[in-house]
Amino acid sequence: MNWQLPLVFAQDVTTDLVERVQKTTIDGTTVPESSVIRGGTSNPFTAEYWFPEQASSFAGEVDYLFMGIFWISLVFFIAIVGVMTYFCLKYRRKGDKIEPEPSSSHNTAIEILWSVLPSILLVWMFYVGAESYFNMRIPKEEAEEIKVTAYQFGWTFTYPNGDIATELHLVKDRPVNLRMQSKDVLHSFYVSAFRQKQDIVPGRYTYAYIEPIKTGVYRLSCNEYCGEGHSKMRTACIVHETEEERKEKTKWIVSSHTPAENGKRIYQIHCSGCHNIDGQAGTGPALNLTWGRNAEFEGADPLTVDADYVLESIWEPSAKIVKGYGVAGQPSKMNSFKGVLSQEDVDYVIEYMKFLQDPSSTTDKKVEELETEKN
């Protein structure tokens, strides 16, 4: 029998789906389309065949226990169902005989066996389970702390040096304790290659401890249904060889990106929770159908969306409320970003909005080049 067949078949069927959901993060990393990147073995009797790569220090322990419980269950399943079937056949009613077979009331040897053997197995499961649970939950002292913010529908990661990224960048063999918070509803952090999953609860911190042992790009996803965009709430987790390599990736140098790219990053970090770029209304209006268009307001005259209006909406969101998104004279659902986004940041957001309207309308030159030209 070809054990590989069902999996190969499943992969072919999902190819189309995979293409549709493929996603690139802001630093250009492609988020793995599947959480299952098998370890390259064709032996179906190993965990590596069925599960994603073992990329954290305790992934091997988790798989070991899983496979252990699986095989024990399989052996008992076959033994119990086998004996049951055999007895059903052997002691079935035959001919005219309707008296039951005599049955023994007691067998000390069998009773001791079926009490002691399962007890030993259960204690083993508990012991191995508890041991790896502690390894997963108790961070090493030297673990660095990375702050994780989950929101509808995305992630931001703040590194010890203050850099912010929309992907999780880790360093191989460096233990990390993620301090996680939610801006809105329940989410759940999940990287299957690390065998680590932890709910993120609004109003409190939760922690996830990881010690990555393999470089690579892994899929990080939200694992708790959190609304319409739940399935889009995924990003890449990249494990780097060295700290330098990681710094290179998390550092965002404004001058080495185009204005629209800078705007996209600001959008992803600050705006994408409420404003979509696919034309769909979110908590606020979609940003791709805004720039240069006519906007209607609750209790104010319509106007054409220009730079002054964008700046006003970001700094004083309650000044004009777009029709259908609130009540005139009442505070906007959006908080003011004055003090958070500078006028220069707003410039970049505007460039990104222009780009969303018409990709050819913006420059593909980096800020650096533009500045050199100006001087």
- Contact residues toward ligand CUA (CB under 6 A) are 150, 187, 222, 224-226, 230, 233
Tokens of 339: 């003090």
Q: Given the complex with ligand CUA, which of 132 and 235 has the nearer CB atom?
A: 235
In DSSP terms, 322 is beta-bridged to 297
- Interatomic CA distance for residues 152 and 139, integer angstroms: 28
**Three-class secondary structure of residue 237 per DSSP:** strand
- Minimum CB separation of residue 74 from ligand CUA in Å reads 34
Q: Which of 131, 154, 5, 159 is closest to 57 using CA atoms?
A: 131
Q: How far apart are CB 268 and ligand CUA at their closest, in Å?
A: 15
Give the three-state DSSP class for 171.
Answer: strand
Structure tokens at 74: 């399989």
Omega within 30 of 0 (cis) for the link into 153: yes
Question: Which tokens go with 264?
Answer: 């996209």
* CB of 225 vs ligand CUA, minimal distance in Å: 6
Nearer to ligand CUA, 230 or 240 (CB): 230
Nearer to ligand CUA, 51 or 190 (CB): 190
Nearer to ligand CUA, 230 or 275 (CB): 230
For the record, the structure tokens of 369 come out as: 């080049």
Kindly list the distances between the CA atom of residue 48 and the CA atoms of 54, 64, 212, in Å, as whole numbers in the listed order: 8, 10, 17
Query: Measured from the CB of residue 153, what is the shortest distance to ligand CUA in angstroms?
Result: 6
Please give the structure tokens belonging to residue 71: 């095989």
CA distances from 143 to 83, 171, 237, 248, 250 (A): 52, 11, 17, 21, 18
- Taking the complex as a whole, how short is the minimal distance between the CB of residue 182 and ligand CUA, in angstroms? 8
Residue in this structure with the two tokens 């800020």, named with its chain if needed: 367
Residue 230: partners with Cβ closer than 8 Å, 6 or more residues away: 153, 222, 224
Contact 41, 48 (CB under 8 A): yes
Pick between residue 150 and residue 367 the one whose CB is nearest to ligand CUA.
150
Residue 224 CB, shortest distance to ligand CUA, in Å, is 5
Nearer Cβ to ligand CUA (171/233) = 233
Count of alpha carbons within 13 Å of 53, Cβ hemisphere only?
16
CA-nearest of 263, 283, 288, 352 to 324 is: 283
In terms of CB distance, is 126 or 225 closer to ligand CUA? 225
Closest CA to 37 of 28, 46, 50: 50
CB of 150 to ligand CUA, least distance (A): 6
Nearer to ligand CUA, 150 or 353 (CB): 150
The residue (of 226 and 341) whose beta carbon lies closer to ligand CUA is: 226
Q: Looking at beta carbons only, is 38 or 197 nearer to ligand CUA?
A: 197
Question: Shortest distance, CB of residue 164 to ligand CUA, whole angstroms?
Answer: 19
Query: 235: closest CA among 176, 180, 157?
Result: 157
Closest CA to 292 of 351, 366, 337: 351
Shortest approach of ligand CUA to residue 206 CB, angstroms? 13
Query: What is the closest distance, in whole angstroms, from the C-beta atom of residue 69 to ligand CUA in the complex?
Result: 28
